[in-house]
Structure 1
């Protein structure tokens, strides 16, 4: 499963399809978090299709959609709750993985420093330097 690791228990990536879910389970993920609103792009599978595939594989699923540039405090809290719920690895996705990374960095469930969050995001391929003041 192609994804970018942010922490020992969190990876992010672009769009997941129902066919990707079994591979996510095989890779050790126990929860999938969708940060992409339905209908954002033509041909994008809707969250309910991913939820059904996740449940069929025994994975938990959280739908926390956010639009680029419109991340609310409520969405940040919901992301933190999803990342901290249960045991095991989490796979969070959106269009490219950046929104999922931003939500992780803002929620900071591991209590990491600003510099460490920015460095981890950078290693995963996401430049969040414009968020430094918010982190």
Structure 2
């Protein structure tokens, strides 16, 4: 299976996944996958449609929420909060996992944000996107 950073008991982040990874992720208990990577960011990356189709085949919910450095944290952080903190076992992915982790930190506030920053840093994840937002 692809390497993941388990940020919480139910939320993990990873770099780019392939449609062929989805069945293994579902077998590992993931019930939702969030894509935080825009299509065509890099040559040869699978499209969101291809990953979404693989999710549909195995009954995994697929959430599209692509962001870049220019539009971080996107237009609807509440949507990410709901998806990332739903209690369902969820994998969020982007090119490296860093954007997804930054979005998770951005959904937190107060002491929870401090704890989220510490957790992401345990995995060596750079938090440059969320740090630009302030507290």
Equivalent position of 1:15 in the other structure: 16
* TM norm structure 1: 0.88
> Is residue 119 from structure 1 mapped to residue 118 from structure 2 by the alignment?
yes
Structure 2 unmatched runs, 5+: none
Using the TM superposition, name which of 112-121 and 87-96 deviates more.
112-121
1:134 deviates by: 2.0
- In the TM superposition, 1:15-94 aligns within 5 A as 15-72=16-73, 74-85=75-86, 87-94=87-94
Q: 2:26, 2:60 within 8 Å by CA — same for their partners in 1?
A: yes
Deviations 1:12-54 (CA, angstroms, capped at 9, x unpaired): 0000110110111111100000000000000000001000000
| SS, match of residue 75 in structure 2 | helix
Cα RMSD (Å): 2.1
1:115 deviates by: 2.5
Structure 1 unmatched runs, 5+: none
1:78 deviates by: 2.1
Q: Number of paired residues?
A: 133
Deviations 1:41-95 (CA, angstroms, capped at 9, x unpaired): 000000010000001011000000001242145242221122244x520000000
Q: 2:13, 2:101 within 8 Å by CA — same for their partners in 1?
A: yes
